[in-house]
């Protein structure tokens, strides 16, 4: 299994953490992004994620490689969901195992920020009323 995965079924953080097992790493930092029941002042009932899988996996792997190189961390993994998600369900999970906490926190932060900016994944919000909308979360790079 590669370190960046797209998952069509529920992400189970405990299972993901187990894959970071590394005797040389004293620090493990994980981040779980979950579906929120509101966005920009509007109630949200569920989310739908879609991805361009071939490019999402190669770009996701590139982000993880950059994190390893920049922060010198041991293991880095990321899983992103696609499909229909209910409120509270994990949408993305990032985990880093490193020698010490500084680089583990920094690498985890870097990975989630870059994934949100660069990996071709899109989400559509559903509301109690009115049509669902594709969310344009990332402004153009030159903005």
Which of 22/48 has CB closer to another protein?
48
Site for another protein contains 118 (CB under 8 A): yes
CB 51 within 8 A of CB 121: yes
Both tokens of residue 47?
């989310």
- Measured over the CA atoms of residue 9, residue 10, residue 12 and residue 13, the dihedral's sign is positive
At its nearest, how many Å lie between another protein and the CB of residue 91?
7
Please state, in angstroms and rounded to a whole number, the distance separating the CA atoms of residues 143 and 140: 5
Please state, in angstroms and rounded to a whole number, the distance separating the CA atoms of residues 128 and 87: 13
Which of 18/137 has CB closer to another protein?
137
Site for another protein contains 116 (CB under 8 A): yes
Which of 74/95 has CB closer to another protein?
95
Site for another protein contains 59 (CB under 8 A): yes
From candidates 73, 92, 98, 107, binder to another protein by CB under 8 A: 92
Q: Which of residues 4-23 bind another protein (CB under 8 A)?
A: none
Residue 30, SS3 per DSSP? strand
């Amino acid at each position: 299994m590669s370190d960046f995965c797209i998952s069509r079924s529920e992400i189970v953080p405990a299972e993901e953490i187990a894959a970071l097992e590394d005797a040389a790493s004293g620090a493990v930092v994980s981040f779980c992004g979950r579906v929120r029941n509101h966005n920009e002042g509007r109630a949200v009932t569920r989310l739908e994620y879609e991805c361009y899988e071939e490019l999402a996996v190669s770009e996701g792997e590139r982000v993880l490689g950059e994190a390893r190189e920049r922060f010198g961390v041991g293991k880095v993994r990321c899983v992103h969901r696609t499909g229909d998600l209910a409120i509270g369900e994990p949408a993305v999970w990032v985990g880093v195992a490193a020698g010490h906490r500084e680089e583990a926190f920094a690498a985890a932060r870097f990975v989630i920020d870059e994934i949100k900016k660069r990996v071709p994944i899109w989400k559509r919000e559903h509301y109690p009323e009115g049509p669902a909308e594709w969310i344009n979360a990332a402004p153009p790079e030159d903005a």
